[in-house]
Amino acid sequence: MRFRNLTIAVAIPVLAVTALAGCSADGTTGSGGATGGGAAQTLSLAAQTDNNSFDTAKLDVANNIQYWQPIYDTLVKLTPAGDPQPNLATEWTYTADRKALTLKLRTGVTFTDGKPFDAEAVKANLEHFAKGGGPSTYMLQDFQDAKVVDPSTVTIDLKQASPAFVGYLGQPAGAMASPAALTSGQIESQPIGSGPYVLDPSTTRGSRYVYARNPGYWNAKAYPFNQVVITPMNDNTPRLNALKTGQVNGAFLAQTSAKEAQASGLKLVTEPVDFLGINIADRDGKLVPALKDVKVRRAISMAVDRAGVSKALYQDLAEPTAQLFNKQSSAYVPALDQADAFDVNAAKQLMSEAGYAGGFEVTMPTTSQLPSLDPIVDAGLKAIGITVHRDALPRDQYKVATQSGKYAMYSLPQAVGDPWRDIQKYLLPKGPSNPLHSENPELTALVDKVRTATSDDARAAAYQDVNRWVVDNAWFAVWTRPLTVYGTTTDVTTTMQFGNTVPYLSSYKPATAG
């Protein structure tokens, strides 16, 4: 009996599909990249997260920045090192007390709906952002109001001096949408900006974001690609595979796949964006009295082998450190990388001097973002007498739970960048990562020096004093500074952005470009 016929009947459609697939080789190879000379066609990027919103009040940094930068130009443009450059604002000056900032605006710029970019548009955008309640609202927490001086001049009044304010105007706070879009109720589905690209109707939210060139953009030369396509890919494996096959030109990669990426011929750029350690939130001893003593906190800092953590968790794509602040920031102090060196005996000595030779117990949540960290922490603290009990927390509840003040200590794999932003977040009494609202008059005085410094050098010196104080008083037990890894295909070049997980859109260029 001819079962061959049946087998052939099954094989034919399989082979037919495979043949069809072979005919569609354009779908399997790179869809972007430079063609050499003239404008390149498509820049294709894989994003670790999906876009959260096109409403300018809800824009975010990190991975989300690549979704909105094509559409919305910002008041200032940040260089890869984080320095503000003229963009939609051509110049800016502070008053002597730094509580008012006057911006001169670029003329002749229009939004893609034909509305003019002017001082009224800036005012509308800042007010919309300040009351929007989005993840980046903190950028305008010192914003008081904006006054239209003339169509191309606006003065922003601040409640108090904010050292990072101009930098924020190169991030979500400075993203300019058409005022008509702000009030249309449609901004989520129809974002209107004045940026280098517009959201193409072929976009499918959650699946594929397509941006076509804005023909009226005033600085087209800065963006050599005619089209940008961003595809959300949550997992590292498909992102790496998409890079290897040329389906995308750039993607954020896990440190563990860096070697494989390089072996596949991909290019890598790195940036020290994160720090890893413990937030010893209960510095006043409200939940765990032992943590009030700086000797106990320093003992915690010395209990874990920084070099071992760097190697074990990040395959040496991390630098041991004891300081919170970003290595590229003006707050960085090289010597603090060696502070509180790993020394179990010395840590036990400190515990003994503090009166806790017998140790104590503390409850910490499981670190859902990095579960491999917890056994290392638990073992290290156990060695100096501290017993850690773990609360199992779902990943989506980690941030809210740790910022609620429920835990005396919790692990922090977190990003750091602009030092003023990090002071706001980690050190000020109302900072979201200061959940028990710790305050210290010495630190307050040092932070005020940063706020009121009138020169970059004075501000840098003040930042470094804050940094030294934080390390000396062990408000955090920081162990390592992982390097963020970004991979590209060989036909594209990019530069990482200070304090951000992924490069800014303006950094991508065809490799053949000069």
State the residues that interact with other proteins by CB under 8 A.
1-3, 6-7, 9-10, 13, 17-18, 20-29, 46, 50-53, 55, 60, 133-138, 141, 188, 204-208, 231-235, 237-239, 241-242, 244-245, 247, 394-397, 399-401, 403-404, 425, 432-433
Minimum separation from the CB atom of position 45 to other proteins (A): 13
CA distance 451 to 442: 15
Nearer to other proteins, 7 or 444 (CB): 7
Nearer to other proteins, 221 or 430 (CB): 430
Which is it for strands 84-86 and 76-78: parallel, antiparallel or unpaired?
antiparallel
In this structure, what is the dihedral angle of CA atoms 22, 23, 26, 28, given to the nearest 10 degrees?
-20
Minimum separation from the CB atom of position 185 to other proteins (A): 11
158 and 166 Cβ atoms separated by less than 8 Å: no
Minimum separation from the CB atom of position 42 to other proteins (A): 14
For 37-121, list the strands marked E by DSSP. Answer: 40-47, 76-78, 84-86, 89-94, 100-105
Nearer to other proteins, 209 or 223 (CB): 209
Nearer to other proteins, 67 or 486 (CB): 67
CA distances from 10 to 16, 21, 23, 81, 333 (A): 10, 17, 21, 59, 68
Minimum separation from the CB atom of position 220 to other proteins (A): 28
Nearer to other proteins, 54 or 325 (CB): 54
Nearer to other proteins, 68 or 217 (CB): 68
Minimum separation from the CB atom of position 421 to other proteins (A): 11
Minimum separation from the CB atom of position 168 to other proteins (A): 12
Closest CA to 76 of 166, 178, 179, 197: 166
Minimum separation from the CB atom of position 298 to other proteins (A): 27
42 and 200 Cβ atoms separated by less than 8 Å: no
Nearer to other proteins, 107 or 234 (CB): 234
69 and 195 Cβ atoms separated by less than 8 Å: yes
Burial zone of 189 (CB within 10 Å; 0-12 exposed, 13-18 middle, 19+ buried): exposed
Q: Which two tokens stand for residue 350?
A: 């400190």
414: which residues sit within 8 A by CB, 6+ positions away?
274, 275, 433
Q: What is the CA radius of gyration of the chain?
A: 25
Minimum separation from the CB atom of position 189 to other proteins (A): 8
Which residue has tokens 């190697």? 311
Closest CA to 94 of 150, 151, 169: 169
Minimum separation from the CB atom of position 237 to other proteins (A): 7
Nearer to other proteins, 19 or 222 (CB): 19
CA distance 74 to 52: 19
85: which residues sit within 8 A by CB, 6+ positions away?
76, 77, 78, 79
Number of residues that this document lists for the chain: 514
Nearer to other proteins, 21 or 341 (CB): 21
Q: Which two tokens stand for residue 157?
A: 């009044």
Nearer to other proteins, 150 or 235 (CB): 235
Minimum separation from the CB atom of position 10 to other proteins (A): 5
Minimum separation from the CB atom of position 435 to other proteins (A): 10
Nearer to other proteins, 231 or 411 (CB): 231
Phi, psi of 313 (to 5 degrees): -95, -30
**Alpha helices (H) along 60-118:** 65-68
Q: Which helix (H) or strand (E) holds 339?
A: none
